[in-house]
Copies of this chain bind each other. A is one copy, B any other.
């Protein structure tokens, strides 16, 4: 006899992983706060329209105020078995009119944890260089009014790759136990746009320190502008001193793009 059929056996609640896209502008970040609207709160409230006592959810990355996501991942435990398609549709219905979309919902086994099972995070940063102000892309990019040089930014980015003490590129508010992280990729792509250029920074690591990507991009922008050299960036890294960092750039160009798991729960 299957022990799960015995009386008194507590069947675990089904767990669902959610892939979430959002515009960070109206939110004080992912994490629930008392005073300000958060993406976590928005998703939890949608879940509680389906199940009033639904427990809180955990996410792969705690994005800051104004930071966007293309593929945030969170998991939730629900009492009822849900058809994943219907769960996604119901959540999207209740999330309206907020700019938060559940791209996919899948049932996962109870060992899956959106944050602790993740083996890699990928971020995208969009930087627009153009004199005329952004209109259609306003809020989707960080804009500077002057051109930047790609090659020195790429050279400086190479100096940051690998395992380092990233104290320089870490917010003083960072709660990580150690400033030592391994940066797996920091690729910069230049795209011609009318009357300007856009740089897309593709950044990959197992995990990141608080404000690490925005500290990188803010510093690399200084290199692209000619104010810093790649050697300056290397010296800043080696200083292991927050004061050596370039300016931290604003959040509206930053996207949590993808979270990797040993077994991808999402097909697409």
Contacts and interface: CB of A to CB of B under 8 A. Distances in A.
Interface of A: 21-23, 68, 70-71, 88-89, 92, 95-96, 99-104, 131-136, 138, 140, 194-195, 268
B88 A132 contact: yes
Given A194-B103, A195-B268, A23 B135 contact: yes
Contacts of A268: 194-195
Nearest to A85: B131
B140 A99 contact: no
A42 to B, nearest CB: 12
A133 B94 CA distance: 12
Nearest to A268: B195
B21 A99 contact: no
Given A133-B101, A134-B101, A135-B101, A70 B21 contact: no
B132 A92 contact: yes
Contacts of A22: 135
* Number of copies of this chain that the complex holds: 2
B138 A99 contact: yes
B101 A132 contact: yes
Contacts of A194: 21, 70-71, 103, 268
Given A104-B195, A195-B104, A23 B132 contact: no
A140 B136 contact: yes
A23 B88 contact: no
A103 B88 contact: no
B101 A21 contact: no
Contacts of A140: 136
Contacts of A95: 133
Nearest to A91: B132
Nearest to A97: B133
A138 B103 contact: no
A140 B136 CA distance: 7
A112 to B, nearest CB: 21
A133 B92 contact: yes
A23 B138 contact: yes
A102 to B, nearest CB: 6
Contacts of A104: 195
